[in-house]
């Protein structure tokens, strides 16, 4: 039967569109990987010269002396910068974890209808505030406030940058944590509530344990955000090299160092290479954090695999 | 647990419903239902989809509180008292066990699933919980299959096992009323028969309301059966009478004989 053979082999418009879309999305997906790999290759290549010729592991991770512009004895100790970034990020998490968890639990489990929708939009708006604006708040509001309240000479310090960074990271962490709560099927809530559990008991005994992995992922992504944030930290931390011993010490962050110094170095110099080495270090740390977050999210998905709503696609913003 | 005075138990009714109407966002789902459920028997509710059976159950344990847009009017009395006069609806729900159509194994261990209700009410001692967990799992005919893996996730059990886990969890509330909503929808026939045997044993201890899409299941288990059709209670009749052609309404006879639905 010739007609039947024709129908079996004829490639119609839908077939061609499908083929074209396949190629387009493949190209889009590959380009993301290519760009990331390209960035990694670039910073590695720029930093490679320094890493192989000048890099001293003990100096880099063990010395707080970062004096790359010294004419007779430049030193490249990144310990103070790492400590600066770590202390600011640590304090930021102390601020943002309770805020974002509380907000996510309220929005996801307690608020209903209009209140819930309004809050979600507001939180997303907060997440869109540019970091330079946060830095501005750190400089012009937090700075005098800290000087007055704690009677210290300088208000640009770990406390200032940590609070600013915490407030900055909280909205995105709230959004991701709320996604994790939303991925818990409603049937769980209904079953627990039908047993006579109060809303808080349902949240605490059933929803939070079920969403635990997603909540950990939200926190980790907040940590990654803190590590990578530049402008707000540059403006609020005081930008002076210090191993902090109290929240009122000024510090300098890894990212802020790169941003502030790269423009003034000669391409190819030791200083230039050292800044790219900081970049490689940052890249590896944030990569590890994001990877860990991803592992946690997948762990969470497995738990609900058998039934219920599909979990949120990915925690990567 | 203290035993509250059960006014209507003398009269023999666990649930008394008068002129009950339920709607969602102003759209009626059920109206004009008046019936009594005698204590310690299995009360069957049959009817095709969208006849209001599930809504009826939801009104009994005040799930309308957590369902957006659900409106209830008329009166539902549990143990002689209007459910809307319970100031603590959580206490009401603790007295009523619910089994949903699709089994819900909470993402906790098997042990924690069954111990949850007791823990919510403040039982902390491991020895007490052990006794409760074993007793409830045994009564739900699940103990032998899971006794060696009480620490594995309840949500990873098979559908039929999860449904028995759900029943064990409901029994752990020590309920005076058990509501079952089409429990056998996702359960194989062998497990269904096992659960039916469990229910037949349980009725000496509690009142059971069995909503079912299988008319023969109501025939096997229920002493009395109500027939719901498109948001209306057609009739409540002794099950035997209903299935022997003695229904008051011809639509009931047609439904139980499989002519529609």
Mean pLDDT of A12-25: 95
Split at pLDDT 50, 70, 90, the class of A6 is confident
Residue B250, in any domain of the structure: yes
CA dihedral angle for residue B124, residue B125, residue B130, residue B132, rounded to 10 degrees: -60
Q: Give residue B166's Cα distance to chain centre.
A: 11
Give tens-digit pLDDT for A47-66: 988 888 888 888 999 999 99
Asked if residues B52 and B231 have their Cβ atoms less than 8 Å apart, the reply is yes
Is residue B90 domain-shared with residue B187, that is, in the same domain?
yes
Domain range enclosing B194: 11-95+175-261
Give tens-digit pLDDT for A126-151: 999 999 999 999 999 999 999 999 99
Cα B146 to Cα B110: distance, rounded to the nearest angstrom:
8
Residues of A within an 8 Å Cβ radius of B: 112-113, 184, 187-188, 190-198, 201, 205-206, 209-210, 303-304, 306-307
Q: What's A81-147 look like in SS3?
A: HHHHHHHHHHHHHHHHHHHHHHHHHHHHHHCCHHHHHHHHHHHHHHHCCCHHHHHHHHHHHHHHHHH
Distance between A191 CA and the closest CA of chain B, angstroms? 7
Q: Does B98 touch chain A (CB under 8 A)?
A: yes
Is residue B255 domain-shared with residue B198, that is, in the same domain?
yes
Give tens-digit pLDDT for B60-79: 999 988 888 899 999 999 98
- Residue A48: Cβ within 10 Å count: 15
Query: Would you state the pLDDT for residue A4?
Result: 62
**Cα radius of gyration rounded to whole Å, chain B:** 18
- Residue B184: Cβ within 10 Å count: 20
Which residue of A lies nearest to B65 if distances are taken between CA atoms? A193
**Does the complex come out with an ipTM higher than 0.90?**
no
Q: How far is CA A133 from CA A159, A194, A236, B12, B201, in A?
A: 18, 47, 11, 71, 69
Asked if residues A97 and A114 have their Cβ atoms less than 8 Å apart, the reply is no
Asked if residues A204 and A109 have their Cβ atoms less than 8 Å apart, the reply is no
Q: Bigger pLDDT: A102 or B66?
A: A102
Q: Report the CATH number that the domain containing residue B19 is assigned in CATH.
A: 3.40.50.300
Is residue B79 domain-shared with residue B198, that is, in the same domain?
yes
Give tens-digit pLDDT for A222-267: 998 888 999 999 999 999 998 999 999 999 999 999 999 999 999 8
| Tokens at B80, concatenated | 């002689």
**Cα radius of gyration rounded to whole Å, chain A:** 25
Three-point CA angle A41, A44, A50, nearest 5°: 155
Q: Which of A125, A134, A119 is nearest to A226 (CA)?
A: A134
| Tokens at B152, concatenated | 């594995």
Give tens-digit pLDDT for A149-173: 999 999 999 999 999 999 999 999 9
Asked if residues B178 and B209 have their Cβ atoms less than 8 Å apart, the reply is yes
Q: Which of B187, B173, B177 is nearest to B101 (CA)?
A: B187
Q: Are strands B207-211 and B177-181 parallel, antiparallel or unpaired?
A: parallel
Which residue of B lies nearest to A113 if distances are taken between CA atoms? B68
CB contact under 8 A, A306 and B90: no
Is residue B147 domain-shared with residue B183, that is, in the same domain?
no
Is residue B242 domain-shared with residue B182, that is, in the same domain?
yes
Cα A237 to Cα B224: distance, rounded to the nearest angstrom:
76
Query: Would you state the pLDDT for residue A148?
Result: 94
Is residue B164 domain-shared with residue B212, that is, in the same domain?
no
Is residue B90 domain-shared with residue B195, that is, in the same domain?
yes
| Tokens at A176, concatenated | 């991701």
Asked if residues B76 and B17 have their Cβ atoms less than 8 Å apart, the reply is yes
Give tens-digit pLDDT for B143-172: 999 999 999 998 889 888 999 999 999 999
B2: three-class secondary structure by DSSP:
coil
DSSP A207: I
Cα B90 to Cα B169: distance, rounded to the nearest angstrom:
16
Asked if residues A173 and A222 have their Cβ atoms less than 8 Å apart, the reply is yes
Q: Give residue A255's Cα distance to chain centre.
A: 13
Residue that terminates a domain, selected from B149, B174, B199: B174
Is residue B90 domain-shared with residue B181, that is, in the same domain?
yes
Asked if residues A166 and A91 have their Cβ atoms less than 8 Å apart, the reply is yes
Q: Give residue A231's Cα distance to chain centre.
A: 14
- The total number of structural domains in chain B stands at 2
Distance between A185 CA and the closest CA of chain B, angstroms? 10
Residue that terminates a domain, selected from B174, B190, B222: B174
Q: Residue ranges of the alpha helices (H) in A229-269? A: 231-236, 254-261
Residue B3, in any domain of the structure: no
Asked if residues A229 and A236 have their Cβ atoms less than 8 Å apart, the reply is no
Helix, strand, coil abundance in chain A, percent, nearest 5: 75, 0, 25
Nearest to A197 among B68, B92, B120 (CB): B120
Query: Would you state the pLDDT for residue B2?
Result: 45
Over 70: is that where the pLDDT of A214 sits? yes
Q: Show Cβ contacts of residue B232 under 8 Å, excluding neighbours closer than 6 positions.
A: B30, B31, B32, B33, B51, B52
Residue B4, in any domain of the structure: no
Q: Does B193 touch chain A (CB under 8 A)?
A: no
Q: What is the CATH number of domain A78-267+281-303?
A: 1.10.3720.10
Query: Would you state the pLDDT for residue A303?
Result: 53
Q: How far is CA A307 from CA A220, A303, B142, B157, B226, in A?
A: 27, 9, 21, 11, 32
Is residue B170 domain-shared with residue B183, that is, in the same domain?
no
Cα B240 to Cα A278: distance, rounded to the nearest angstrom:
83
Q: Residue ranges of the alpha helices (H) in chain A? A: 2-9, 13-53, 57-62, 79-105, 113-127, 131-137, 143-150, 158-182, 186-194, 199-201, 208-228, 231-236, 254-261, 270-303
Nearest to A306 among B66, B97, B155 (CB): B155
Query: Would you state the pLDDT for residue A306?
Result: 44
Place of tokens 């994790």: A180
Question: What are the residue ranges spanned by the domains of chain A?
Answer: 78-267+281-303
Cα A11 to Cα A13: distance, rounded to the nearest angstrom:
7
Residue that terminates a domain, selected from B174, B197, B215: B174
As a residue count, chain B comes to 261
Three-point CA angle A246, A252, A255, nearest 5°: 135
Q: Show Cβ contacts of residue B202 under 8 Å, excluding neighbours closer than 6 positions.
A: B139, B171, B178, B208
Across chain A, what does the average pLDDT equal?
89
As a residue count, chain A comes to 317
Which residue of A lies nearest to B60 if distances are taken between CA atoms? A194
Place of tokens 């627990």: A192
Cα B199 to Cα B215: distance, rounded to the nearest angstrom:
16
CB contact under 8 A, B173 and A196: yes
Asked if residues A220 and A296 have their Cβ atoms less than 8 Å apart, the reply is yes
Q: Which residues 129-158 of B have a C-beta within 8 angstroms of A? A: 153, 155-156
CA dihedral angle for residue A220, residue A223, residue A225, residue A226, rounded to 10 degrees: 170
């Amino acid at each position: 039967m010739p007609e039947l053979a024709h129908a079996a082999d004829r490639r119609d418009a839908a077939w061609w569109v499908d083929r074209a879309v396949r190629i387009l999305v493949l190209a889009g997906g590959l380009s993301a990987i290519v760009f990331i790999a390209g960035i990694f290759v670039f910073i590695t290549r720029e930093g490679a010269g320094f890493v192989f010729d000048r890099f001293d592991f003990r100096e880099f991770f063990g010395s707080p002396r970062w004096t790359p512009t010294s004419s007779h004895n430049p030193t490249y100790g990144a310990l103070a910068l790492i400590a600066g970034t770590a202390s600011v990020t640590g304090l930021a998490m102390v601020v943002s974890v309770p805020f974002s968890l509380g907000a996510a639990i309220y929005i996801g489990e307690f608020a209903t209808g209009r209140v819930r929708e309004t809050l979600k939009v507001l939180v997303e708006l907060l997440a869109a505030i540019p970091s330079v604006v946060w830095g501005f708040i750190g400089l012009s509001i937090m700075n005098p406030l800290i000087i007055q309240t704690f009677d210290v000479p300088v208000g640009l310090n770990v406390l200032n940058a940590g609070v600013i960074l915490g407030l900055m990271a909280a909205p995105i962490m709230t959004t991701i944590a709320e996604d994790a709560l939303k991925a818990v099927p409603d049937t769980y809530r209904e079953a627990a509530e039908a047993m006579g559990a109060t809303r808080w008991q349902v949240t605490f005994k059933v929803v939070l344990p079920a969403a635990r992995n997603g909540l950990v992922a939200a926190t980790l992504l907040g940590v990654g955000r803190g590590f990578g944030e530049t402008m707000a930290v540059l403006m609020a931390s005081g930008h002076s090299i210090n191993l902090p011993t109290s929240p009122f010490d000024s510090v300098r962050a890894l990212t802020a160092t790169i941003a502030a110094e790269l423009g003034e170095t000669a391409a190819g110099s030791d200083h230039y290479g050292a800044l790219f080495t900081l970049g490689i270090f940052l890249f590896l740390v944030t990569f590890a954090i994001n990877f860990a977050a991803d592992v946690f999210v997948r762990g969470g998905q497995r738990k609900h695999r058998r039934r219920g709503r599909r979990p949120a696609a990915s925690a990567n913003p | 647990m203290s035993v509250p005075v059960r006014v209507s138990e003398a009269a023999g009714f666990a649930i008394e419903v008068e002129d009950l109407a339920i709607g969602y966002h102003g759209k009626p789902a059920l109206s004009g239902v008046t019936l009594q459920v005698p204590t310690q028997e299995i009360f069957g509710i049959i009817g095709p989809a969208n006849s209001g059976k599930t809504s009826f159950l939801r009104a009994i344990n005040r799930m309308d509180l957590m369902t957006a847009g659900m409106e209830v009017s008329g009166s539902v009395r549990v143990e002689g008292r209007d459910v809307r006069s319970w100031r603590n609806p959580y206490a009401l729900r603790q007295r009523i066990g619910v089994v949903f159509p699709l089994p819900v194994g909470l993402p906790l261990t098997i042990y924690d699933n069954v111990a949850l209700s007791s823990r919510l009410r403040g039982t902390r001692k491991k020895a007490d919980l052990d006794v409760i967990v074993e007793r409830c799992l045994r009564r739900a005919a699940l103990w032998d299959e899971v006794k060696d893996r009480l620490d594995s996730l309840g949500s990873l059990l098979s559908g039929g096992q999860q449904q028995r886990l759900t029943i064990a969890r409901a029994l752990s509330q020590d309920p005076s009323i058990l509501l079952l909503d089409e429990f056998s929808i996702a359960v194989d026939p062998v497990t269904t028969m096992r659960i039916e045997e469990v229910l037949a044993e349980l009725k000496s201890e509690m009142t059971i309301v069995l909503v079912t899409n299988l008319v023969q299941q109501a025939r096997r288990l229920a002493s009395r059966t109500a027939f719901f059709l498109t948001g209306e209670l057609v009739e409540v009749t002794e099950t035997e009478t209903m299935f022997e052609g003695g229904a008051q309404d011809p639509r009931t006879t047609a439904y139980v004989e499989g002519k529609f639905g």
